[in-house]
């Protein structure tokens, strides 16, 4: 099965958000990647529920919501109500990660865990069987447009080995600095979903760029 492509709305033009959402609707993209930043877990603030609700109103594809926030448990239901289809929390932000995953699933969303560049894949060993997706951060979270961290390939391969053993259907999603220079190598290493922000939204042909990311083979 071909990998998914999820353009990151963080890099959209917020003065023309509906136009950019419709561009994604009319492209080969599979999901909308929606980054929530609280200025505490990460050194940036993005947007909150009203913007997620607006995206949901226009979007014809699922919302892949990535919570870069402290104490995500407080807001899970609010994000579900705003339109999230997938909810991913950071391993580094959760004291009782297993409980948080159960709460996301109880809301009827796909449940994901994201790990920062310094967090070893091995820390996912006892949760992999219970989750639907993992986001491997290939930049330090907080900003679009950063350079891809090369060490990510090794982490993708390690996670694929873990998934093959405990949860073969688990989605392995890569977030940060994804371009056509690294997409094929990521898919070859085991990535099953690619998030791309600046590479898509800075392109002259955004729909064509999404199609090109979708077409790469590992």
Ligand X SMILES: O=C(CO)[C@@H](O)[C@H](O)COP(=O)(O)O
- Give the residue numbers annotated as catalytic, written as ranges: 35, 175
CB atoms within 10 A of CB 27: 20
Applying CB under 6 A, the span of 84-92, 101-109, 122-130, 195-203 interacting with ligand X comes to 195-203
The annotation places the binding site at 8, 33, 35, 66, 142-145, 175-177
Strands (E) across 128-188 are located at 133-137, 171-175
Q: Rule CB under 6 A: is residue 144 a binding residue for ligand X?
A: yes
Q: Rule CB under 6 A: is residue 197 a binding residue for ligand X?
A: yes
Shortest reach from residue 166's CB to ligand X, in Å:
25
Q: Rule CB under 6 A: is residue 175 a binding residue for ligand X?
A: yes
Nearest CA to 61 among 10, 105, 9?
9
Looking at the DSSP bridge assignments, the partners of residue 114 are: 90, 135
Alpha-carbon gap, residue 20 to 181, rounded angstroms: 24
Alpha-carbon gap, residue 157 to 55, rounded angstroms: 33
Shortest reach from residue 152's CB to ligand X, in Å:
12
Using CB under 6 A, list all residues that contact ligand X. Answer: 8, 10-11, 33, 35, 66, 139, 141-146, 175-178, 195-199
């Amino acid at each position: 099965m071909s990998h998914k492509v999820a353009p990151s709305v963080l890099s959209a033009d917020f003065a023309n958000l509906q136009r950019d959402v419709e561009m994604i609707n009319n492209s080969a993209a599979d999901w909308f990647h929606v980054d929530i930043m609280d200025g505490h877990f990460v050194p940036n603030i993005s947007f909150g529920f009203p913007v997620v609700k607006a995206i949901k109103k226009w979007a014809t594809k699922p919302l892949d919501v990535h919570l870069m926030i402290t104490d995500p448990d407080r807001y899970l239901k609010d994000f579900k109500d705003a339109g999230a289809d997938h909810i991913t929390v950071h391993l580094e932000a959760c004291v009782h990660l297993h409980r948080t995953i159960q709460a996301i699933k109880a809301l009827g969303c796909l449940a994901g865990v994201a790990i920062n560049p310094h967090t070893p894949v091995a820390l996912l060993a006892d949760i992999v069987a219970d989750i639907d997706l993992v986001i491997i951060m290939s930049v330090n979270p907080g900003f679009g447009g950063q350079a891809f961290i090369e060490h990510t390939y090794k982490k993708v391969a390690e996670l694929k080995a873990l998934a093959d053993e405990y949860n073969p259907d688990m989605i392995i999603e890569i977030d940060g600095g994804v371009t056509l220079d690294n997409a094929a190598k990521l898919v070859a290493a085991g990535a099953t979903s690619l998030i791309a922000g600046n590479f898509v939204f800075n392109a002259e042909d955004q729909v064509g760029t999404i199609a090109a990311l979708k077409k790469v083979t590992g």
